[in-house]
Amino acid sequence: MKAIPLERLSLEGDLRDRLTASASRLADSLYGPDEVFKPASYDWPGDNEGRTLLAQVLTARATGTEPLHAAAIMAKLPEAVNERGYFGSILPDGMTDEQQLSGNSWYLRALAELYAWKKEPEVLRQIERVVRGLLLPAKAHFEHYPTDPLERANEGEAAGTRGDKPVRDWYLSTDIGCAFIMLDGATHAYELLRWPELRETIDAMIRKFLSIDLLAINAQTHATLSALRGMLRYYGLSRNAGLLAAAERVFELYVQEGMTENGANRNWFNRPWWTEPCAVVDSFVAAFELWRLTSKPDYLETAHLIYYNGLSHGQRPNGGFGCDNCAGSKERELFALENLYEAYWCCTMRGGEGLARAAEYGYWLDGNLVTVPFYHNGVARLPLAAGEAVIRQTTSYPYEGQTVFEVLSVPAACGATLRFYVPQHAVPGTEAISLNGVRLDAASDNGFLEIQAELAAGMRLELNFELGLTRVPAAHAPAFPDAVTLRHGALLLRGTRKQEDSDRGESELGPLKYASEGTYADADGSVVLSPVFVPIRKNDKETVLEQKTILFT
């Protein structure tokens, strides 16, 4: 099962708006060739350059536009990298800098995505130089990676800092475990190169990563999740069942100990100080990939919750991304942190990939089997065995469970099996599919409704399921063990009370009636529940910073 290329999608609606805003932010001079390259003294060699290029490539593909700065950035690369082809200083033999590995991982991933898009041989040669010059020599060092908590810094800033004194053969970061972010870049490079020596390096990295007590060492959740992404990509290439089981255990640990109540993250295990959209993007991708590889619907359910309540809340009205509080750790409320309102040096770029992945996840093909795990407005050109089928999707999801698929054009005699996701949060027994107004018999399988159909131009398929108000015990709110969250489908709801009723606690609610767009109100309208998710066109800085009660008694 493979995603259709982003170039075959013409998105509309909120996801298109979010991608357009992200691409516009990344077109700022801050992400252009005159400012994107950092000096040799920068603690994170390759990080700013790699994240920027990666986001520009992916948002360009998802929006159908050429990235404003990418060509100029690529033109300046030869003078920015060292003689071995990677960013940062060439360290003495026997030494490794985990922040250098981390930053150059994003550079590798940017090159890999650019090569997948443009197929330029020179880009592949650049990937080979990074692997040969930086990554392969680091193989022996992973066995000695410091995992004793006493050897690690116990505090860190949002941007992370490198220690001045090495521990054995490592320069270490306050972003604990960031060396293993390179698993993401290394496996992406291996997907293209298939070098045996690179496979051996990846195996050594994974062995060490899986030996670490991530809680005891207070590992950074972003580093953990980026490593997990790499493991999942590597499983897709190796099909090692033990590796997949290990990846599931890592993700379960993250969900239990590293996730916030709105599907964002705690920046480190055991340190719920702020969220980081970089990690939220990785958790979204990891959840989706675990669903794709296991077919377990719980993972897809988690991906929906992360996208609508964590990732989307982290995007700012200017298209960038910033950090929120860890709702449930100290406060009942969710809000953006004003001092980290936009993390323009990392999260803004990583958010671009998250939105591009959300677009990519809309349609998956396996021959003439079409799987639809997410719903977004727009037109898709599906390359089926008989030829190209062009389908327009119009949806009211996530507010309502109605999606219409209209076949605009299709080759003759084009049969297909169609699978449509029905969320676990849908009202049981309400799911149905109709063809031109006539209800069809559909098989239910692992969270999907499945039908077989002969596609024809003008055909109109309509999927329906009902969404309602549900009360879910809080699972990520250690400060409020008896709290509950309220949801409308996948949407986490926040409480708002009129000023004259503010003496009554917002966390206590009476009977509520549904209004529209995921909003509920009590009989006299004094209490309103509305989604944390706000379409980007309707959002503003005041709303983002507002303290939104999401935990209730």
Structural domains in the chain (count): 2
456 shares its domain with 492: no
508: pLDDT strictly greater than 70: no
Report how far residue 138's alpha carbon sits from residue 142's, in angstroms, rounded to the nearest whole number: 7
Report if residue 197 sits inside a domain.
no
Q: Would you place residue 497 in the very low, low, confident or very high pLDDT band (cuts 50, 70, 90)?
A: low
Assess whether 504 and 433 both reside in one domain. no
- How many C-beta atoms surround the C-beta of residue 39 within 10 A? 6
Any domain includes 55: no
Per cent of the chain over pLDDT 90 is 88
The whole-angstrom separation of Cα 318 and Cα 164 is 36
pLDDT given at position 8: 97
* 3-class DSSP state of 161: coil
Helix axes 182-193, 98-118, angle to 10 degrees: 40
| pLDDT tens readout for residues 57-86 | 999 999 999 999 999 999 999 999 999 999
Span 176-186, mean pLDDT?
A: 97
CB atoms within 10 A of CB 34: 10
Query: In this predicted model, what pLDDT tens digit does every residue of 452-465 receive, in sequence order?
Result: 999 999 999 999 99
CATH number for the domain harbouring residue 431: 2.60.40.1180
What's the pLDDT score for residue 499? 36
Nearest to 113 by CA among 126, 97, 100: 126
pLDDT of residue 248: 98
Closest CA to 472 of 354, 324, 313, 309: 309
Q: Residues 437, 439, 440, CA angle at the centre, nearest 5°?
A: 130
Q: How many Cβ atoms sit within 10 Å of the Cβ of residue 111?
A: 29
Is 7 within a domain?
no
CA distances from 141 to 45, 55, 170, 201, 498 (A): 19, 30, 8, 10, 60
Q: How far apart are CA 150 and CA 249, in angstroms?
A: 25
If asked whether residues 489 and 509 sit together in one domain, one would say yes
Position 159 scores a pLDDT of 61
pLDDT digits (tens, 9 = 90+) for 292-306: 999 999 999 999 999
- Same domain as 476, residue 434: no
The pLDDT value given to residue 156? 60
Q: Which domain holds residue 544?
A: 469-549
Domain boundary among 404, 430, 465: 465
* 447 shares its domain with 498: no
Residue 368: is its pLDDT beyond 80?
yes
Mean pLDDT across the chain: 94
Q: Does 532 share its domain with 473? A: yes
Place of tokens 């220690």: 163
Residue 444: is its pLDDT beyond 70? yes
452 with 372, same domain: the answer is: yes
Do 459 and 474 belong to one domain?
Answer: no
* End-of-domain residue from the set 465, 484, 505: 465
Closest CA to 405 of 460, 480, 356: 460
Residues 477 and 398 in one domain: no
Mean predicted confidence (pLDDT) in 252-277: 96
- Do 522 and 453 have their domain in common? no
pLDDT-derived band at 413, boundaries 50, 70, 90: confident
Residue 540's H or E segment, with its range, is: none
- Which of 441, 465, 489 corresponds to the end of one domain? 465
- Token reading at 205: 């990295």
Give the tokens for residue 95. Answer: 């030494």
Question: Looking at the structure, do residues 508 and 477 belong to the same domain, yes or no?
Answer: yes
Indicate if 491 and 531 belong to the same structural domain.
yes
Examine residue 242 and state whether it is found in any structural domain, yes or no: no
